[in-house]
Chain A
Amino acid sequence: MYYPTLENIELIIKQMNKRYNMDVVIINKGQLEFALEKPKTKLFGEEQYPELYQKAAILMETITKIHTLSDGNKRTAMMTAEFMIKANGGELILPLKTIRLSVDTAMDASDSMSELIQQWFKVHTAMNVHQLCAILYEHIEEEFIIKKLWDDKKYSEVESLIERWMAFDSYPENRKAWNELSTQWQKNKVSIEKKSTKNSEYYGWYEMWGSIMGMAKRDHEQYADYFDLPIEKITELQCNENNMTELKNMEKIIQETANTYEKTTDPEIIHQNGMILARHGNTLEAISQFEKLRKYDKDESDAIDHIAGLHYYQNKDAKSALEYWKIYEKYRPDSLHTVQSIGFALTTLEQYSDALGYLETALKKDTKSEKTLLFMGMCYDGLKQYEKAISCFKKCISIDPKSFQAHSGLASAYAENGQFAESLEYHDKTIELDPDNFHSYYNKGRFFHSYGKLDEAIIEYEKTLKMEPDNLETIINMGSALSDSGKREDAIPYFENALKQDPDHPVALASLGITLIFLKRFDDAFVPIERQLKLDPTDNHAKMSHAIIFANTGKILESLTILEELVTSDPDIKDMLRDNPSNMFNPIKDSERFKKLLE
């Protein structure tokens, strides 16, 4: 998901200033930043606005209402929302009545607009050509209503529609101008074009009117261009203001376009449509187009490669990608792209030895490919051949000194290889490369954690949580680092927070249970431990925790029965019973059955 940034808005304002000859400034940047954060809001770990339309809607509503620009709040808000939809692969089509929506939003004091805006955006956004055809048709029909009413001389109906769409009730001074103009038009039947050149103050009105009359010629050229539609026919359409046949023509042409896509067997068009859908993030439909292309193209290999790529890069489905690339391999067995792609997919599937076979071939074909070296490093790391992994990552860095993944891989491989100082150095370099990436701080925290440096780990986890307060793994690790360093009370809220996100998280349940046991809050500990056992009745750690709770809450016989069962299944447990950590077995340690367990 792409979220607009403050820099984006600053540029939007700059462009608008240029176009409308204005001098809009931001009064309060902090407020604007707050508005930009709003679409990302999470409540108890769940996104409050999970869908693109919801995000765009709350963004538009917030920017409109906080009114933190010296001018142009409504228009900047609308443009920011439209830009967000565009950046995420959608095409928003705004009819004239958008003005009404924008004005209503600015006037609304109830915070109840975002639902309406969200619906509006949803209905007016096309994610593929079929949707675009449908929306354009609606949009055209709506604006032709005006022309039809005008031709029928139903001027008062035209006026009331315009009044509503253009929000004249809120801006009566503009209504006056409209009335004057419409009276003149009616009276003199002056050519609109002439009018606009003669009297520049009517230019805005001319544009509005001209666009209603001439309607969609200009729009269509742009939509056709944007979507690479083969609809030269649409641009041929002459909008003749004297008759209504255009509406019918338009309907026919749009239908023909949709049919062209549906029925075509022309590989060039199918390919093109697949590419458009893929570019707009419509992965499933793109895949179905490329499946179709396999049938009609002389050579199906390109289509297969596209399907594999979509599975791998968009669907994050390496298994399906591999299946397709394996078919692709039959057509292009020797190409660098084939061996590299199969190598990547196998690496993702953790089939490291097989992956290395392909990646080594790829490296022979292109010895300077940093991506091949990166994946080879990941394979050697997975195979625990850390020296080789380190060498691959280093070569990768020598080609691409800013490779975040290679630095991160190197930090991890050094840590696994027991090279503490080197690992720390690369953890720091990773952070230097991308200080805004929370993964780097988390990884550094994990690194300290695994070396038992709990205080340092806690500092890094704190930094991570500042950036990603809901990151589950960090929350749990933070809790466990606190608990292990003796700050057990402090640890509990972290485990509880984690369980709010995932009530069945086994590590969070176990860690909370054990921490409460250490705090001698045995009754409280019973709840998570019992849940843990219910989820996995074979979990020996949970059984041990259960035995400790029973031993300390007077249920001595139950405790001993569990311990006897545990010792039979895992003799190492005896050592733990002998150690008696934190005197947990004190209430039962003198019983004969317990002593027998230690024999």
Chain B
Amino acid sequence: MMQSKITTTETFIQKDSFTEKELEETINRLLDKHFKVYNRLAEI
């Protein structure tokens, strides 16, 4: 999926904090990504 071009340099400033929503999304994404590992760790 192509992204539209962003022309301001501000894009490159890295995030140094997370809102609760961003963090929630990130965690869920990681849990989905490694569901095999985390599911198994949840069992033991």
Residues of A within 8 A of B (CB): 2, 8, 11-12, 15-16, 19-20, 22, 72, 74-75, 78-79, 82-83, 86-87, 89, 94-96, 98-99, 102-103, 166-167, 170-171, 174, 204, 207-208, 211, 219, 222-223, 225-226, 228, 268, 271-272, 275, 278-279, 281, 302, 305-306, 308-310, 312-314, 337, 341
Contacts and interface: CB of A to CB of B under 8 A. Distances in A.
Contacts of B34: 82, 94, 98
Contact of B23 (A11, A72, A95, A281): A11
Contacts of B33: 219, 222-223
Given A79-B27, A79-B30, A281-B14, A11 B20 contact: yes
Interface string B11-44: 1111111101001101111111111111111111
Given A78-B41, A96-B37, 10 more contacts: A11-B23, A79-B38, A94-B34, A94-B37, A99-B40, A170-B44, A306-B12, A310-B9, A310-B12, A314-B14
B41 A19 contact: no
B3 A228 contact: yes
Nearest to B43: A204
Nearest to A307: B9
Contact of A308 (B9, B17, B40): B9
Contact of B5 (A20, A99, A223, A302): A302
A222 B32 contact: yes
Contacts of A15: 24, 27-28, 31
B40 A166 contact: yes
Main secondary structure of the interface of A (DSSP, over half): helix
A15 to B, nearest CB: 5
A208 B36 contact: yes
Of the candidates B1, B2, B44, the one having the most CB atoms from chain A within 10 angstroms of its own CB is B44
B38 to A, nearest CB: 6
Contacts of A174: 43-44
A99 B37 contact: yes
Given A12-B27, A15-B31, A271 B1 contact: no
A341 B2 contact: no
16 contacts: A2-B16, A15-B28, A72-B41, A82-B30, A99-B41, A102-B41, A167-B44, A207-B36, A208-B36, A211-B35, A228-B3, A275-B6, A279-B12, A302-B7, A313-B12, A314-B14
A83 B27 contact: yes
A226 B1 CA distance: 10
Contacts of B9: 305-306, 308-310, 312-313, 337, 341
Interface of B: 1-3, 5-18, 20, 23-24, 26-44
A312 B8 CA distance: 13
Given A15-B24, A15-B27, A314-B12, A207 B37 contact: no
Q: Rank and list the top 9 A-B pairs by shortest CB-CB distance, nearest first.
A: A309-B9, A75-B41, A15-B27, A94-B34, A20-B42, A211-B36, A94-B37, A98-B37, A171-B44
B23 A8 contact: yes
B10 to A, nearest CB: 8
Would you call the interface of chain B mostly helix, strand, loop, or mixed? helix
A277 to B, nearest CB: 10
Contacts of A78: 37-38, 41
A167 B40 CA distance: 10
Contacts of A86: 26, 30
Given A167-B44, A228-B3, A275-B6, A83 B30 contact: yes
Contacts of A310: 9, 12
A19 B18 CA distance: 21
A207 B28 CA distance: 18
A103 B41 CA distance: 9
A204 B39 contact: yes
Contacts of B14: 89, 281, 314
A275 B24 CA distance: 24
Interface-centre pick from B2, B9, B31 (highest chain A CB count, 10 A):
B9
Contacts of A79: 27, 30-31, 38
B22 to A, nearest CB: 10
A102 B34 CA distance: 14
B40 A204 contact: yes
Contacts of A312: 9
A271 B3 CA distance: 10
A302 B9 CA distance: 10
Contacts of B31: 15-16, 19, 79
A514 B35 CA distance: 64
Nearest to A306: B9
Contacts of B5: 271, 302
A96 B3 contact: no
A86 B14 CA distance: 12
Given A207-B39, A222-B32, A272 B12 contact: no
Nearest to B27: A15
A150 B19 CA distance: 46
Contacts of A12: 27
Contacts of B11: 275, 278-279, 309
Select the residue from B11, B16, B27, B35 with max chain A CB neighbours within 10 A.
B27
A82 B41 CA distance: 14
A281 B15 CA distance: 11
Given A222-B33, A268-B2, A87 B18 contact: yes
A32 B3 CA distance: 40
